[in-house]
A and B are shown apart, each in its own frame.
Chain A
Amino acid sequence: SAPGGGDDEGGGEEGPIKVGVIVPTTGVVAAAGTDMLNGWNLYWEINGNEVAGRTIETIHEDNAGDPTTTLTKARKLVEQDGAAVIVGTLLANTALALAEYLDPLDDVIGLNPAGSADDLSQRGVVDNYVRAGGWQSSSPTHVAGDWAYEQGYRKVITLCQDYAFGHENCGGFTNTFTDRGGEIVQQLWAPLGTPDYSSYLSDIDPASADAAFVLTVGADSGRFVKQWEDFGLKDNLPLIGGETTLEQSLLRAMGDEAVGLQSFGHYAEGREDSATQEFVDEYVDAYDQLPSYYSASTYTAAQWFAETLEAEDGDMSDVPAFLETLKGYQLDNSPFGPMKLDEHGGTIATMYLREVAKDEEGRLYNQVVEEYPEVSQFWNYDPQAFLEQPVYTREYLGEDWPESCDQFASDCPLEGE
């Protein structure tokens, strides 16, 4: 007989619901992880932690940004604390590790607010790990590629961070931009933690291209943006940023060098809609800084979960049913704007063209220049055809794909050429 002690059940029909939140609050990505934790807590502070008669008990665990630790912590939350819901995590690799753990469990629900790895809603869907307030890396950049062509850019240089997230971002941009007939004239890859971008920047000749698409993350972003100005490129070459190059948690540390730069993302703290602004105001009140998309993501995940639970009358005992409701839920007023999932579990949401501006208090923020509502993770490709392609990697950026118009669901740009 199988040995073992008992779990105490944290889901079910009644009693408190235990929710484990795994985000990094130590280690290299601690800042963004803290934003996530804050966002999550903020929701419950505002709305109270009782939903449909059930108390939500949050247990936070730190994974230090490490995949193996993520597994350890997930085990602890589920097996030791009896968590019925796991929320997290931040980095794509930790999210993938978590997905691996959750996959065989049939009584635990995972909410994925930030792990943006494309495949989590494409080729490697894990049923009980649901994007809630989350996104796909390539969704904003699909828009960006298309937009760049619209702007009249024909030759673009890409500079992306050399790891999966960077590959997916660059892939999204490259795929749609080249579909329209644009040409990537130079591809640069910078490893995570590049101390000095000057080598890459000195490789860029402003005369050879119409614009540059850049995706950096974390501390690299600050260095990049500074040096972009230092080496005289800011005024000579239009920059198309990816979401994380100019997102709020990094803007806090940037100066005038960032003002006026444009980027694409699924979140803009400057969005004027009341849902966003209320969230921003509350957040500023509570934490004295503008919220980043990390904060918004867990806030939204909380909202998503709470509203589903409400709809289910607080009953979580039938996990498949609960999951169905969860996935079918539509948020009309999240800080991101309207948000819902497609049949694969991919987020359908508004993408923004954003521009960094300075508010009266001297804080930098992203204001909205342009909105692209209801962007699917498949852009306007045919989902089936899209899924037959491999995920974007350094080797496959979708440059030569698709070849024909039957691989589009709508608006085939190939016809125009």
Chain B
Amino acid sequence: MSGRQFVLLSLNGISFGALLFLLSSGFTLIFGLMRIVNLAHGSFYLLGGYVGLTLMQGGQSFWVAMIGGALAIAILGFVVERGLLLRVRGRTMPEVLLTVGLSLIFADLALARWGGDPILLDRPSQFAGTVELSGVTYPEFRLLVLGLGILLAALMWILQSRTRIGAIIRAGVDDREMVSALGINVNAVFTGVFVFGALLAGMTGVIGGVFLSLYPGADGEILNFALVVVILGGLGDLRGAIVGSLLVGLIDSFGRSLTPSLSYFLLFAPMALILIFRPRGLFGRATVD
């Protein structure tokens, strides 16, 4: 492998990893802390992207589209959480299955509204060019995604270590009833977390629309990645999400290049292995479940 290729593959892996982190940080929050395997997270991503598309078609900039996509999905998340998930709160399987049902509906409605053509969103004009990095041509936008990933990681780190929220949510998973008997509005906290996760998914959808394009089926594909990230890293762990994202990004990038014929297994084989030898992922803690 040439040096140039190595640099390229690494950059690709890392920037793709950053995109995955943007998505899976919200996923890991919901999945890890609330124990909701939100299989509609991919739909949130795709719908966020489509909302961004509509905004951009209406002449708005990428940035407005990104914020709009995020907010729209936050609202959707609120409705889903309050209207549906709240009714089955605390029952793991109904929660998972409900989100499966929702993902079917969302996918079909998105198809009805936005059609099936794959659509690549325009890059923000400020980051439309390419840069030369040690002899390699590289798109600026990917570096932007990397930056956003780092920013979000820092933000979440502060959020997690400076507030009681994390502990409250984990306590809520252990024994929701008891949390409320301590005077904490556990439903509000859960809704907040869910909405925040949805917001991140919606935002990532718009970014992903530039990075990967939007099309029916993108929801499932990206969800697979998020699942693998969270499982590799360990549930509900921020470090896990960071390391998992990078790892998946790099495995994907180098794996496709080095062993293209195994690319179908690239994602799932390491995941199965990790689960067998470290059933709780790389950073998974011994939690009660």
Contacts A196-B212, A219-B218; A253 near B253 (Cβ below 8 A):
no
Distance in angstroms from A219 CB to nearest chain B CB is 3
Q: Is the CB of A226 within 8 A of B252?
A: no
Q: Is the CB of A218 within 8 A of B215?
A: yes
Q: Is B185 an interface residue (CB 8 A)?
A: no
Inter-chain contacts of A409 with B (CB < 8 A):
none
Chain A residue with the shortest CB-CB distance to B141: A230
Q: Is the CB of A26 within 8 A of B213?
A: no
The one of B111, B213, B260 in contact with A188, judged by C-beta atoms closer than 8 angstroms, is B260
Selecting from A4-12, A199-207, A334-342, the interface stretch reads A199-207
Q: How far is the CA of A177 from the CA of B31 in the complex (A)?
A: 52
Q: Is A75 an interface residue (CB 8 A)?
A: no
List residues 120-136 of chain A with CB under 8 A from any CB of chain B.
none
List residues 105-119 of chain B with CB under 8 A from any CB of chain A.
108, 111, 115-119
Q: Is B257 an interface residue (CB 8 A)?
A: yes
Distance in angstroms from B113 CB to nearest chain A CB is 12
Q: How far is the CA of A218 from the CA of B116 in the complex (A)?
A: 10
Q: Is A190 an interface residue (CB 8 A)?
A: yes
Inter-chain contacts of B90 with A (CB < 8 A):
none
- Give the number of chain B interface residues (Cβ < 8 Å): 40
The one of B111, B137, B213, B253 in contact with A231, judged by C-beta atoms closer than 8 angstroms, is B137
Q: Is the CB of A222 within 8 A of B213?
A: yes
- Give the number of chain A interface residues (Cβ < 8 Å): 39
The one of A32, A198, A223 in contact with B213, judged by C-beta atoms closer than 8 angstroms, is A223
Distance in angstroms from B18 CB to nearest chain A CB is 12
Q: Is B139 an interface residue (CB 8 A)?
A: yes
Inter-chain contacts of B166 with A (CB < 8 A):
none
What 1/0 mask marks residues of chain A from 249 to 275 whose CB sits below 8 Å from any chain B CB? 110111100000000000000000000
Inter-chain contacts of A249 with B (CB < 8 A):
117
Q: Is A147 an interface residue (CB 8 A)?
A: no
Q: Is the CB of B137 within 8 A of A30?
A: no
Q: Is A31 an interface residue (CB 8 A)?
A: yes
Q: Is A328 an interface residue (CB 8 A)?
A: no
Selecting from B5-13, B226-234, B239-247, the interface stretch reads B5-13
Q: How far is the CA of A221 from the CA of B218 in the complex (A)?
A: 14
Q: How far is the CA of A254 from the CA of B117 in the complex (A)?
A: 11
List residues 250-270 of chain B with CB under 8 A from any CB of chain A.
252-257, 260-261, 263-264
Chain A residue with the shortest CB-CB distance to B53: A253
Q: Is the CB of A189 within 8 A of B261?
A: yes
Q: Is the CB of A226 within 8 A of B256?
A: no
Q: Is A414 an interface residue (CB 8 A)?
A: no
The one of A162, A219, A221, A226 in contact with B217, judged by C-beta atoms closer than 8 angstroms, is A219
Contacts A28-B215, A191-B264, A230-B139; A199 near B254 (Cβ below 8 A):
yes
Q: How far is the CA of A252 from the CA of B257 in the complex (A)?
A: 30
Inter-chain contacts of B120 with A (CB < 8 A):
222-223, 226, 253-255
Contacts A195-B221, A198-B8, A218-B118; A28 near B212 (Cβ below 8 A):
no
Inter-chain contacts of B122 with A (CB < 8 A):
255
Q: How far is the CA of A203 from the CA of B255 in the complex (A)?
A: 12
Q: Is B27 an interface residue (CB 8 A)?
A: no
Contacts A26-B108, A199-B254, A203-B5; A250 near B117 (Cβ below 8 A):
yes
Q: Is A277 an interface residue (CB 8 A)?
A: no
What 1/0 mask marks residues of chain A from 197 to 234 whose CB sits below 8 Å from any chain B CB? 01110110100000000000011011100100011100
Inter-chain contacts of B9 with A (CB < 8 A):
198-199, 202
Distance in angstroms from A162 CB to nearest chain B CB is 8
Q: Is the CB of B111 within 8 A of A200?
A: no
Inter-chain contacts of A232 with B (CB < 8 A):
130, 137
Q: Is the CB of B264 within 8 A of A222?
A: no
Q: Is the CB of B12 within 8 A of A196?
A: yes
Contacts A30-B216, A219-B215, A219-B218; A196 near B264 (Cβ below 8 A):
no
Distance in angstroms from A68 CB to nearest chain B CB is 17
Q: Is B45 an interface residue (CB 8 A)?
A: no
Q: Is the CB of B260 within 8 A of A189?
A: yes
The one of A30, A203, A250 in contact with B257, judged by C-beta atoms closer than 8 angstroms, is A203
Q: How far is the CA of A150 from the CA of B116 in the complex (A)?
A: 38
Distance in angstroms from B139 CB to nearest chain A CB is 4
List residues 1-51 of chain A with CB under 8 A from any CB of chain B.
26-34
The one of B8, B119, B130, B263 in contact with A191, judged by C-beta atoms closer than 8 angstroms, is B263
Q: Is B78 an interface residue (CB 8 A)?
A: no
Inter-chain contacts of A32 with B (CB < 8 A):
116
Q: Is B190 an interface residue (CB 8 A)?
A: no
Q: Is A80 an interface residue (CB 8 A)?
A: no
Q: Is A193 an interface residue (CB 8 A)?
A: yes
Contacts A27-B216, A30-B216, A230-B130; A221 near B118 (Cβ below 8 A):
yes
Inter-chain contacts of B118 with A (CB < 8 A):
31, 218-219, 221-222, 250, 253
**What are 22 A-to-B residue pairs whose CB atoms are below 8 Å?**
A28-B217, A29-B116, A30-B111, A30-B115, A31-B118, A33-B116, A191-B264, A195-B252, A196-B211, A196-B252, A199-B252, A199-B254, A200-B257, A202-B9, A219-B118, A221-B118, A222-B120, A223-B213, A231-B137, A232-B130, A250-B117, A254-B120
Lowest 6 CB-CB distances: which A-B pairs, in order?
A31-B116, A219-B118, A30-B116, A202-B8, A232-B137, A28-B217
